[in-house]
């Protein structure tokens, strides 16, 4: 076979999603590398504030006008024009327009208004000198203009705000912390677009980009009231009465804070209409300032003087705030309720109106989840994005709950149980529960839950907000901390209020404190790093795979075909009969071979994928109907074996190259985890009650999702792990006491069936421990190089001891591979090894077990 065909077949073994992911990550790195060339030589496009003259008309004595436009910045050329002075006439000496650092955004550390104001003043000094000037700000540009006027009142001759935000209370939710929550979710998509997509600089040239969203995320208007009241110079406030982005109430309140300010309200909204209507009044106002006719405040207002009462939200402002609360519930229900309680406590909106808005938003979200389940059906759970949120085994479990007389109570109670709402409501839709009654119950549940959270936010929020100004520079970290606190409360504190929740906490704590129960990716990471370093010492990344020359395709490493590894031992009566079924054969051929095999050995039959790890994809077939369904629907190569009864053991065996020896390095027993019925408890309750089963309760609930509501009769024993694999829930117990000379001789004789085998992990079945000691067993699987022993999963062993034992085994494997390489054995290609390993670990049904 040609090398090209071999490489093509190797590439095909890599799951498509991994290839796509690798290509995507590579494209992202290339994109960052390409755009970095543009970022370094042109810092003025990276983070600088630019000022350019738009119009210059000679006129003696007139001061320059600095215009800070609104966001978004629409590109390199659009920033040079402004509708505010589209018809500039003599009398205005110079009009200069600021370009926000948002187009071609790169790496600016902060887009906060105070930081931009500092750079703006520096750019103005470089462009027009150090004299006085008029400043005009539109939208968020008004926030920057106010910052400049507050920092250097001696430089600013007049302040003009066009459709600009005023006090914090009239911006979005009216509260700095609540707004930070909203701006966080607003900023996140733009951040991901910039950092995690291969846009090659195109995203930077969009009008709505990362720089645009950072302006809002970094904004802090908590000091705007003090700045407005402290400004004593001439001021003009221009606003549209139908502005739905920044309500006109904000302009009216700003005018109360600055009594000397002129307030002009136009019939327009937020945008070009208001800008054009404001052009003439702004020119007239600046002319009055130049002529000394504009009003000034005689003296500053004492800091101790109370602020004017807020303008009560009404009309469009009220309904805008109402809709914003509803929309925020779609993103984060509980934080929105807490923030709404804080808004109500500050008098920004009525308590019951805020409660109604939260309830309506939550109810709409619940109905959307119900509609998704009802419309898409169960098949949608196998596709993204629902498969990331709702697991199919959870649907089976909750279907049993809904079938009970208390089914509707389960749905209502999910409103008060964290992390259960989405699967519950989607399941209700899949099962097509009665909509009128369900809708009424969900609305009532939301109406009960919402005021409780709002009262909590209204009680704890004001004291927190009193301290917020002292730590506002850490606002982003405070928001993240609040998210972490809410997560801790909902996932640890609230569940602790119920018996089942407390048992879930026991499960979580044990999984954290017991290293033997950690995920394989974490548990074996140090070992994998050690193997890689040890292999590098032998000048070959695949040195360990050379421990078993010509054994399988890659020395029996993870990803080798099961039937290929068992083939050398088929003549031994101790090897389990095995049938390899190829997906390339027709369905009729697969069916004929499978029927003949089941006829000879009988049911049940174990069906395994040729390539998988830790028992993933295993099926136990108990009748011909299920066997036919599996054979006709096969999309991968399969292996059939008769179900072997007895006790299961794992043996790690090694032999030195060029030596006629062989010894067992470890013996591990795979014990079943069982619960005994009492005639009163359901299977789910028995799992949570059992002190041993609770450690892996989530796995057992998944394996038995269809019978969790069954009351187990008294005396009946239920085995929770369907197979002896640790991935299916079996207990792994180190059994050095079973190692006898008879067992060692029998295993060595069996392993010598393949002369090139130097390291192996064998799965053995025996009728009893006495038979196993005597060397009587049946082998169902043989693994080769670097197949780590399961004794590391024995929680009764000291972790350092089990880790050292496994490392000794793996090191022996690498040493054997290095010795074979020294004898000029052909090394295993790295690309083929990685392709087969990725095929085994890239399965969508990882650790899934179906018992037909």
Tokens 């991901």, residue located: 192
Residues 6+ apart with CB under 8 A from 523: 515, 516, 792
CB-count burial class (<10 Å; 0-12, 13-18, 19+) for 301: middle
The DSSP symbol for 828 reads: P
Please write the tens of the pLDDT for every residue from 729-782.
899 999 999 999 999 999 999 999 998 899 999 999 999 999 999 999 999 999
Task: Please state the φ and ψ torsions of residue 653, each to the nearest 5 degrees.
Answer: -125, 145
Highest averaged pLDDT of the listed ranges 82-91, 344-353, 457-466:
344-353
The yes-or-no verdict on residue 415 having pLDDT over 80 is: no
β-bridge mates for residue 138, sequence order = 162
Residues 704-722 have pLDDT tens digits of 877 888 889 998 999 998 8
pLDDT of residue 128: 79
Residue 380: band (very low, low, confident or very high) from pLDDT cuts 50, 70, 90: low
Q: Do the Cβ atoms of 150 and 227 come closer than 8 Å?
A: yes
Alpha helices, DSSP H, located in 152-223: 176-195, 210-217
More confident call, 317 vs 273: 273
Query: Higher-confidence residue: 290 or 846?
Result: 290
CB under 8 Å to 176, separation ≥6 — which residues?
168, 220, 221, 222, 465, 468, 472, 475
Give the pLDDT mean for 441-465.
Answer: 80
What is the spatial distance between Cα 65 and Cα 70, in angstroms, rounded to a whole number? 16
Indicate the helix (H) or strand (E) that contains 19: helix 16-39
The answer, yes or no, to whether residue 695 has pLDDT greater than 80, is yes
Q: What is the pLDDT of residue 6?
A: 62
- Compute φ and ψ for 555, nearest 5 degrees: 75, 20
Peptide bond just before 604 cis, omega within 30 deg: yes
Q: Is pLDDT larger for residue 515 or for residue 78?
A: 515
CA–CA separation, 4 vs 10, rounded Å?
10
* Tens digits of residue pLDDT in 789-841: 889 999 888 888 898 999 999 999 999 999 998 888 888 888 888 888 888 87
> Please, how many CA atoms are within 13 Å of residue 556, restricted to the half-sphere of its CB?
29
Highest mean pLDDT among 78-87, 504-513, 668-677: 668-677
Per-chain mean pLDDT for the chain: 81
- Among left, alpha and beta (phi > 0; psi -120 to 50; other), residue 718 is beta
Please state whether beta strands 619-621 and 850-851 pair in parallel, antiparallel, or not at all (unpaired): parallel
Mean pLDDT, rounded, for 274-279? 79
Burial of 465 (0-12, 13-18, 19+ CB in 10 A): middle
- Joined together, the tokens standing for residue 205 give 């040239």
- As to burial, measured by CB atoms within 10 angstroms (0-12 exposed, 13-18 middle, 19+ buried), residue 250 is buried
> What pLDDT does residue 231 have?
92
Q: Is 134:156 a contact under the CB 8 Å cutoff? A: yes
8 Å CB contact between 828 and 817: no
> Residue 648 gets which letter from DSSP?
E
Burial readout 168-187 (b: 16 or more C-beta within 10 A, e: otherwise): bbbbbbbbbbbbbbbbbebb
Distance (Å, whole) CA 216 – CA 186: 9
Question: For residue 75, what pLDDT band results from cuts at 50, 70 and 90?
Answer: very low
SS3 state of residue 760: strand
Residue 276 falls in which region: left (phi positive, over 0), alpha (psi -120 to 50) or beta: alpha
β-strand 579-581 against 638-642: which pairing, if any?
antiparallel
Supply the pLDDT for residue 642. 94
Distances (CA, A) of 77 to 52, 55, 97, 98, 332: 11, 15, 12, 12, 39
Structure tokens at 207: 């009008």
- Which one of 233-237, 300-304, 483-487 scores highest in mean pLDDT? 233-237
- Gyration radius (Cα) of the chain, Å: 36
Range with top average pLDDT, 43-57, 105-119, 477-491, 626-640: 626-640
Please give the pLDDT value at position 736. 92
Rounded to whole angstroms, the Cα distance separating 348 from 328 reads 17
């Amino acid at each position: 076979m040609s090398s090209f065909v071999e490489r093509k077949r190797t590439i095909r073994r890599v799951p498509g999603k991994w290839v796509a992911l690798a290509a995507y990550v590579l494209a992202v790195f290339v994109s960052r590398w390409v755009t970095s060339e543009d970022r370094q030589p042109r810092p003025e496009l990276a983070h600088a504030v630019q000022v350019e003259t738009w119009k210059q008309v000679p006129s003696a004595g007139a001061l320059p006008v600095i215009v800070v436009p609104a966001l978004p910045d629409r590109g390199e050329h659009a920033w040079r024009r402004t509708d505010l002075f589209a018809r500039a006439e003599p009398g205005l000496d110079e009009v200069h327009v600021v370009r926000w650092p948002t187009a071609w955004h790169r790496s600016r550390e902060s887009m906060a208004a105070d930081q931009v104001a500092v750079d703006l003043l520096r750019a103005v000094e470089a462009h027009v000198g150090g004299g006085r000037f008029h400043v005009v700000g539109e939208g968020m540009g008004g926030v920057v203009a106010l910052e400049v006027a507050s920092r250097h009142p001696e430089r600013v001759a007049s302040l003009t705000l066009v459709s600009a935000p005023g006090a914090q209370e009239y911006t979005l939710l009216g509260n700095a912390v609540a707004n930070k929550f909203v701006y966080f979710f607003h900023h996140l998509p733009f951040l991901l677009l910039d950092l995690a997509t291969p846009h090659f600089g195109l995203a930077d040239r969009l009008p709505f980009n990362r720089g645009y969203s950072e302006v809002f995320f970094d904004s802090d208007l908590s000091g705007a009231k003090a700045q407005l009241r402290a400004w004593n110079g001439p001021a003009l406030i221009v606003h549209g009465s139908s502005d739905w982005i920044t309500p006109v109430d904000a302009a009216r309140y700003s005018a109360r804070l600055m009594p000397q300010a002129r307030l002009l309200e136009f019939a327009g909204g937020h945008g070009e209409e208001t800008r054009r209507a404001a052009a003439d009044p702004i020119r007239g106002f600046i002319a009055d300032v130049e002529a000394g006719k504009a009003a000034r405040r005689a003296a500053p207002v004492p800091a101790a003087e109370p602020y004017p009462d807020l303008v009560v939200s009404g009309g469009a402002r009220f309904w805008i705030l109402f809709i914003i609360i509803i929309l925020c519930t779609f993103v984060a229900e509980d934080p929105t309720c807490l923030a709404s309680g804080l808004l109500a406590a500050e008098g920004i909106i009525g308590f019951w109106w805020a409660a109604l808005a939260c309830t309506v938003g939550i109810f709409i979200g619940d109905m959307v989840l119900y509609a998704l389940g009802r419309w898409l059906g169960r098949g949608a759970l196998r596709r993204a994005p629902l498969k990331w949120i709702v697991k199919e085994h959870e649907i089976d479990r909750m279907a049993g709950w809904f079938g009970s007389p208390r089914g509707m109570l389960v749905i209502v109670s999910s409103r008060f149980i964290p992390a259960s709402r989405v699967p519950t409501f989607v399941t209700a839709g899949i099962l097509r529960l009665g909509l009128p009654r369900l809708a009424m119950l969900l609305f009532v549940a939301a109406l009960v839950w919402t005021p409780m959270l709002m009262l909590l936010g209204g009680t704890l929020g004001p004291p927190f907000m009193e301290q917020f100004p002292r730590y506002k520079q850490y606002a982003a970290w405070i928001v993240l901390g609040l998210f972490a606190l809410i997560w801790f409360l909902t996932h640890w504190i609230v569940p602790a209020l119920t018996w089942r929740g407390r048992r879930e906490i026991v499960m979580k704590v044990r999984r954290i404190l017991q290293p033997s129960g950690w995920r394989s990716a974490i548990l074996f990471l140090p070992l994998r790093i050690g193997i890689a370093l040890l292999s590098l010492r032998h000048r070959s990344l695949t040195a360990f795979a050379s421990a078993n020359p010509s054994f399988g395709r890659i020395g029996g490493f993870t990803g080798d075909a099961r039937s290929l590894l068992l083939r050398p031992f088929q003549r031994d009566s101790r090897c389990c009969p095995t049938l390899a079924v190829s997906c390339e054969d027709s369905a009729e051929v697969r069916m004929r071979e499978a029927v003949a095999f089941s006829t000879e050995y009988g049911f049940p039959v174990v069906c395994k994928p040729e390539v998988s790890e830790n028992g993933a994809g295993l099926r136990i077939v108990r009748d011909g109907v299920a066997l036919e369904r599996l054979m006709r629907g096969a999309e991968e190569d399969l292996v059939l074996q008769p179900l072997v009864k007895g006790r299961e053991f794992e043996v790690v065996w090694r032999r030195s190259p060029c030596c006629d020896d062989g010894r067992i390095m470890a013996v591990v027993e795979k014990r079943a985890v069982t619960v005994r019925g009492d005639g009163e408890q359901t299977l789910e309750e028995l799992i949570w009650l059992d002190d041993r089963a609770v450690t892996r309760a989530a796995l057992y609930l998944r394996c038995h999702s269809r019978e969790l509501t069954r009351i187990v009769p008294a005396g009946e024993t239920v085995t929770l792990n369907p197979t002896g694999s640790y991935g299916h829930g079996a207990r792994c117990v180190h059994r050095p006491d079973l190692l006898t000379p008879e067992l060692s001789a029998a295993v060595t004789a069996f392993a010598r069936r393949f002369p090139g085998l130097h390291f192996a992990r064998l799965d053995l079945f025996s009728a009893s421990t006495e038979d196993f000691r005597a060397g009587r067993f049946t082998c169902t699987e043989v693994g080769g190089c670097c197949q780590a022993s399961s004794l590391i999963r024995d929680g009764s062993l000291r972790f350092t001891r089990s880790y050292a034992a496994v490392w000794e085994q793996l090191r022996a494997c690498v040493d054997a591979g290095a010795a074979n390489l020294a004898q000029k054995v052909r090394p295993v290609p790295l690309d083929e090894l990685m392709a087969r390993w990725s095929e085994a670990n890239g399965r969508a049904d990882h650790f899934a077990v179906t018992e037909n």
